[in-house]
Amino acid sequence: MENPIKNFICISNYFKGNDFLINLKKQGNRVYLITSEKLRDKPWAMEYIDEIFFMPGQDIDWNLEDLLSGVASLMRHKKIDGIVALDDFDVEKAAFLRENLRMQGMGQTTGRYFRDKLAMRMRAKDAGIPIPAFSALFNDEEINEFADTIDAPWVLKPRSEASASGIIKVHSKEELWQKIDELGNENRIKYLVEQFKPGAVYHCDGLNVNGKTIFSITSQYLATPMEISQGGGIFRSANIPYNTKDDKEIKKVNEQVLKAFGMQHGANHTEFIKCNDDGKIYFLETSSRVGGAHLAEMVEAASGVNLWSEWAKIEDSLVKGKEYKLPKINKGFAGIVLTLSKFEHPDLSGFNDSEVCFRVPLEYHAGLIVKSDNHARVRELLDDYAERLVRDFATVAQQEAVKKLH
């Protein structure tokens, strides 16, 4: 007996997720995409999208009541079986719709654990997961107690922004209060303060089904998003050797995080730091989505697992009540090097080593992914390519201040 056609609404405020949309359609489903008007001309996989709807503005500008009204209108004629958020900033929107329309999937309380960095830290602390010391910015006495008992430097972090956007590093109590005062009463509650722990930063990218992590791969940021946003530079990441002490420990803590946060199914991207001072693994943040900056392509190059495609198959299996089967996993190595480019279409033909398997197709970006059976070879190429990109292509864009906080 053939599986009946199911109807999915996918939400994406940014141009991403074509592989998800394509594979969801290939499973025999109807796919409806809701995105921003300003993304109308992006090369969406239109032949795999049954209908596309555009919201005015982008992200925080969306009127949730208008979104709900539009989806409710669609549901008058189509039974919607699943709602999927393809980006960080869509998690809350999808949860809002599910709650109001009483649909299965991540609700608003669980969704907050994957969007609100304060909620993440409080939940992790309650679950006994190691985290850097932190404080909300609600109460002056608590802030002073934090500053008086936790060694500087510290970082002020927006609670609901993505990546390293809006992070402010401070080195003294006086500077901390100066920055808090600059935020003002309206915005300070949307930040937290956290101890800055120098160390190696890792990310674990994976898939969950029925609350169990069925696939994960550990990688190290060789230049972190925060370092790049604060001082410029070349973004680099590579997966680490398998079954090492760090790999096992990070994967163990990753499973603890996802279990404590209520991650049931789908893709996830979680970040950790191995502190230089004590060698311990600390949880930093997580998200219920595929990692950005073309990390999905890097993961696929190393493992053979396309996170977008497999996530689509998981969503399909859930609504159709069938078993999901993970494809064969390779245990190779891959890495990415990526920078803003001073050229609209940089000529990267000189990067012609046989290990190059992907070239980032974005305007004013220069980036490549390499893969090999040899971890040291990947790292060697990333170091070499980073030097060459700095010399011949790279430019630095000044970090914009976050004007509207989530």
The domains of the chain, with CATH numbers, are 7-105 (3.40.50.20), 133-195 (3.30.1490.20), 199-392 (3.30.470.20)
- DSSP-derived 3-state class of residue 283: strand
Quick one: 302 exposed, middle or buried, by C-beta within 10 A (0-12, 13-18, 19+)? buried
| Dist CA 109 CA 86 (whole Å) | 18
100 or 2, higher pLDDT: 100
- Cα 269 to Cα 203: distance, rounded to the nearest angstrom: 7
| β-pair type (199-209, 333-340) | unpaired
pLDDT at 36 over 60: yes
**Phi, psi for residue 232 in degrees, rounded to 5:** 80, 180
Which residues face 359 on adjacent strands?
368
Residue scoring higher pLDDT (385 or 3) = 385
DSSP characters for 378-404? HHHHHHHHHHHHHHHTB--PPPPP--S
What's the rounded mean pLDDT across residues 272-297?
A: 94
Question: What DSSP state is assigned to residue 362?
Answer: -
Helix, strand, or coil (residue 96): helix
What pLDDT does 1 receive?
47
Residue 232: its pLDDT value, please?
61
Q: Is the pLDDT of residue 59 over 80?
A: no
Considering the chain, what is the average pLDDT of its residues?
92
Indicate the pTM of the whole model. 0.91
Is pLDDT above 80 for 398? Answer: no
- Confirm if 87 and 12 have CB atoms less than 8 A apart: yes
Strands of 276-376, DSSP E: 281-287, 333-340, 356-359, 365-372
Q: How is 100-150 classified by DSSP, letter by letter? A: HHT-SS--HHHHHHTT-HHHHHHHHHHTT-----EEESS-HHHHHHHHHHS
As a dihedral over the C-alpha atoms of residue 133, residue 136, residue 141, residue 146, rounded to 10 degrees, the angle is 10
Tens of pLDDT along 228-283? Answer: 655 567 899 999 999 999 999 999 999 999 999 999 999 999 999 999 999 999 99
The residue written with tokens 């090369």 in the block is 43
Task: Find residue 60's DSSP bridge partners.
Answer: none
Share of the chain above pLDDT 90, in %: 81
Percent of the chain with pLDDT over 70: 93
